[in-house]
Amino acid sequence: TDYQYFHAGGRGHHMAWDSRCFDYHKPEVLHFLLSNCRFWLDEYRVDGFRFDGITSMLYHHHGLGEAFTRYDQYFDDSVDEDAVVYLALANKVIHTLRPDAITVAEDVSGMPGLAAPLQEGGLGFDYRLAMGVADCWFKLVKEVSDENWHMGHLWHELTNRRADEQTISYVECHDQAIVGGKTMIFELADAAMYTAMRVSDTDLAIERGITLHNMLRLITAATAGNGYLNFMGNEFGHPEWVDFPREGNNWSYHYARRLWHLRDDQTLKYRYMADFDQAMIGLLADSGALGSSHPYLHYLHEDDKIIVFDRGPFSFLLNFHPTKSVSDYHVAMPPGGYQLLLNTDERRFGGQDRVAAGQRYFTRPCSEHGEMRNCLQVYLPCRTGLVLKRLPEAP
């Protein structure tokens, strides 16, 4: 019957998704779903799960039309307590079978306790996804001209999270490019992707796209709470969307694949983004900065579109302005010397090499708002992100 595993009547139908809704109160449903968790651990040796769209599970209204602006919305009569129990049981099963496995909750509502331990009354997820970050990036790129990006709003979205929950940030995943949507690089460069991605090509849309692609990833990864997410292929700027065989596309496999050869083709520019991603991830992974420290904002300037912050052993200086490069820019920093480790504008990353690689900077006394501070003087070209590391003090 329609309601053997699902709810009977209207509650069993998700009208927005044209799908069925499990009745999590039934033991048979719990057995089926929990054994499925175990199957993937035992048979495929997966090391974790991303629970997709659980807002739809947590509430009878599926989160549709809800803004979640008050905490009492998280615990009112709209909560599906059976679904909450199932998610807690799933985390218990997964972590009992594989203590090293991780679970990640994709929830747009922000329900407190999702990523809190079971013994503390939480649902037991290890991480929650910072979904607002990707939403913020795509809104900026699609709706706001580059010169009008609001740096304060951007910083708030990148760092807005509860301190007692582990979070994972991302620029894009499969959600932003599914069924005809656009990947971030396609959103940035659009049709030029099909005609100007050869290394020999000169195209301003592609140049802007690659530059911002690298900068978006740098600041997102560097401000992430406890982890950074990438969907396969996005690291090298995959040009096409994801669409799996279904009735709507006549069961086609045409977009159900990743074009891996693009990354390795030395005549194309995709490798610039892949090489930057590899350098960025390597730098952050080796430092252990994510999760062990918090981003500390040193400086933010709306008109210049500049953000400067520390994370772990690194200082990040980013100029998002589309045209305004600044020379001898004064930035108040802790006293000492700094060395340039990574630059989004390097030629090997598709940039213009406007900043000499490996150079060192030293603070000097300066006056800021009538107060004497220690400042770096830095050449910071437009659409460029620099990563500096504090030099050890002389003995």
Structure tokens that stand for 266 in this block:
């030395």
Phi-psi region of 65 (alpha: psi -120 to 50; beta: other; left: phi over 0): left
Spatial distance between the Cα atoms of 36 and 31, rounded to a whole number of angstroms: 8
Phi–psi pair at 121, nearest 5 degrees: 90, 5
Spatial distance between the Cα atoms of 41 and 63, rounded to a whole number of angstroms: 30
Give exposure, 341-372, as e/b (b: 16+ Cβ within 10 Å).
bbbbbbeebbbeeebeeeeebebeeeeeeeee
> Of 74, 156, 155, nearest to 116 (Cα)?
74
Is 265 known to be catalytic?
Answer: no
Structure tokens that stand for 156 in this block:
């708030």
Report the 10 Å Cβ neighbour count for 175. Answer: 18
Options 2, 43, 47, 52, the catalytic residue: 52
Spatial distance between the Cα atoms of 4 and 103, rounded to a whole number of angstroms: 28
Phi–psi pair at 287, nearest 5 degrees: -85, -25
Options 23, 80, 106, 235, the catalytic residue: 106
Across-strand partners of 366? 373
CB 128 within 8 A of CB 166: yes
How many helical (H) and strand (E) elements, i.e. helices and strands, does the chain have?
9, 16
Report the 10 Å Cβ neighbour count for 20. Answer: 14
Structure tokens that stand for 63 in this block:
């989160």
Across-strand partners of 372? 367
Structure tokens that stand for 180 in this block:
């005809």
3-state secondary structure of 371: strand
- What's the first-to-final CA gap in the chain, in angstroms? 78
Across-strand partners of 342? 387
Is 106 known to be catalytic?
Answer: yes
> Of 336, 3, 339, 324, nearest to 147 (Cα)?
324
Structure tokens that stand for 137 in this block:
């990036």
Active-site residue list: 52, 106
